[in-house]
Amino acid sequence: TQLLEQSPQFLSIQEGENLTVYCNSSSVFSSLQWYRQEPGEGPVLLVTVVTGGEVKKLKRLTFQFGDARKDSSLHITAAQPGDTGLYLCAGDSGGGADGLTFGKGTHLIIQP
Partner 1 sequence: GAGVSQSPRYKVAKRGQDVALRCDPISGHVSLFWYQQALGQGPEFLTYFQNEAQLDKSGLPSDRFFAERPEGSVSTLKIQRTQQEDSAVYLCASSFSGGPMDTQYFGPGTRLTVL
Q: Which residues sit at the interface with partner 1, rule CB under 8 A?
A: 4, 6, 30-31, 40-45, 48, 50, 88, 90, 92, 94-105
- In this complex, which beta carbon is closest to partner 1, that of residue 1 or of residue 14? 1
Instruction: Give the single-character DSSP code of 62.
Output: E
Q: Is 100 exposed, middle or buried (0-12, 13-18, 19+ CB in 10 A)?
A: middle
Smallest distance from the beta carbon of 95 to partner 1, in angstroms?
Answer: 7
Q: How far apart are CA 55 and CA 62, in angstroms?
A: 7
Q: How far apart are CA 77 and CA 93, in angstroms?
A: 30
Smallest distance from the beta carbon of 53 to partner 1, in angstroms?
Answer: 18
Smallest distance from the beta carbon of 49 to partner 1, in angstroms?
Answer: 11
